[in-house]
Amino acid sequence: MSFSQSSGESVIPPALPRHVAVIMDGNGRWAQKRLLSRIFGHEKGAEAVRAVVRTCRELGIPFLTLYAFSTENWQRPQMEIDALMGLLRRFVDAEGAELIEKNIRLKVIGTIERLPADLQASLRRLMGDTAANSALQLNLALSYGGRDEITRAARAIARRVQAGTLNPESITEETLADHLDTRGIPDPDILIRTGGEMRISNFLLWQAAYAEIFVTPTLWPDFGRESLLRVFEEFQQRERRFGRV
Ligand code: FPP
């Protein structure tokens, strides 16, 4: 990243994103290219997660959201689902202490209730233990789908209307945003997708309305600090107009 300026000028660091969201795709292809099982690709993918979390914290990015398991991923072979749940258990066990020590807050978005009970319990414990941390908020999207999230928000709002505590005419975009799993979190500035597919895949459908989209052919296990810094450099070149001229 080029923060350097000619001598004498005041150095104003170029804008970094406040919230980075990532569709971590390509673990399976990474493994298949090496004639390895897809599960090995997910294991390498977990290493890339560590590298990206560390880099975001180091740069002072306040929010990072990783799409680790979608509502659609429940349709994968049971063996692959079990392996992914195992990796998440290992992530919580092995990285929990580092999250606490490095002042990183963990939050899960999605229907955590669908995860195995022991994993739910350890995620909830770690969310509690890191609740006051402030260097970086790591949002793990688990059993997450944008449509599912919006549907749950609609139900919650409908219940308030039914109870007589909310007038339908007073519902605004803010009301909806406040009933999403991401309430209180700014919308992502950047949506990165690795693995080259040009799709949103049901990720942060509401929140990504104005996100700058970066699709890279790099497969997720090969994505790390350098790739992330390149995306940030490109982000700094883009002009964001939010629908204005
Ligand atoms: C997509 O690759 C990736 C996933 C469905 C899971 C992402 C999980 C990890 C990166 C590891 C565990 C996460 C944490 C937070 C420790 P794919 O299998 O769809 O790849 P393909 O498109 O090449 O088949």
User: Among candidates 188, 225, 228, 184, which has minimal Cα distance to 210?
Assistant: 188
Q: What digits encode the pLDDT tens for the residues 201-230?
A: 999 999 999 999 999 999 999 999 999 999
pLDDT at site 2: 44
Query: What's the confidence (pLDDT) of residue 245?
Result: 74
Distance 105 CA to ligand 1 centre (A): 22
| pLDDT above 80: residue 10 | no
pLDDT average, residue stretch 148-177: 98
Q: Which pLDDT belongs to residue 5?
A: 42
Q: Name the amino acid, one letter, at 225.
A: R
> Once rounded to an integer, what is the mean pLDDT over residues 14-38?
96
Average pLDDT over residues 119-146: 98
pLDDT digits (tens, 9 = 90+) for 48-83: 999 999 999 999 999 999 999 999 999 999 999 999
- Asked whether the predicted pLDDT for residue 175 surpasses 70, the reply is yes
Taking CA atoms only, the protein residue closest to ligand 1 atom 14 is: 46
Residue nearest to ligand 1 atom 22, measured at CA: 26
11 band by pLDDT with thresholds 50, 70 and 90: low
The per-residue pLDDT for 7 is: 45
CATH number of 19-235: 3.40.1180.10
Does pLDDT of 169 surpass 80?
yes
pLDDT of residue 122: 98
pLDDT above 50: residue 8:
no
- Percent of the residues in the chain that have a pLDDT greater than 70, as a whole number: 94
CA angle 214, 215, 219 (to 5 degrees): 130
Which distant-in-sequence residues (6+ apart) come within 8 Å of 86 by Cβ?
A: none
φ and ψ at residue 48, rounded to 5 degrees: -65, -35
Identify the pLDDT of residue 12.
Answer: 55
Name all residues whose Cβ lies below 6 A of ligand 1. Answer: 24-29, 38, 42, 45-46, 49, 66, 68, 73, 84, 87-88, 91, 140, 195, 220
Residue 231 pLDDT > 50 = yes
For residue 141, what pLDDT is reported? 98
- Phi, psi dihedral angles at 243 (to 5 degrees): 85, -10
Query: Could you list the active site residues?
Result: 25, 73
Q: pLDDT averaged over the chain?
A: 94
Residue 120's pLDDT is 98
Position 238 pLDDT exceeds 70: yes
Residue nearest to atom 1 of ligand 1 (CA): 25
pLDDT for residue 4: 42
CA distance 145 to 202: 5
Burial-class residue 203 by CB neighbours within 10 Å (0-12, 13-18, 19+).
Answer: buried
Burial 15-45 (b: 16+ CB within 10 A, else e): ebbebbbbbbbbbbbbbeeeeeebbbbbbbb
Atom of ligand 1 nearest to the CA of 84: 12
Please tell me which residue, 239 or 13, carries the higher pLDDT value. 239
> 171 CA distance to ligand 1 centroid (A)?
37
Of ligand 1's atoms, which has the minimum distance to the CA of residue 70? 5
pLDDT at 136 over 80: yes
Q: Residue 212 and residue 204: Cα distance in Å, rounded? A: 13
Distance CA 138, CA 53 (A): 8
The 10s digit of each residue's pLDDT in 86-97 is 999 999 999 999
Please classify residue 130 by burial: count the beta carbons closer than 10 Å to its beta carbon, then call 0-12 exposed, 13-18 middle and 19+ buried. buried
**Separation between Cα atoms, residue 231 and residue 211, nearest integer Å:** 13
Q: What's the pTM value of the predicted model, to 2 decimals? A: 0.93
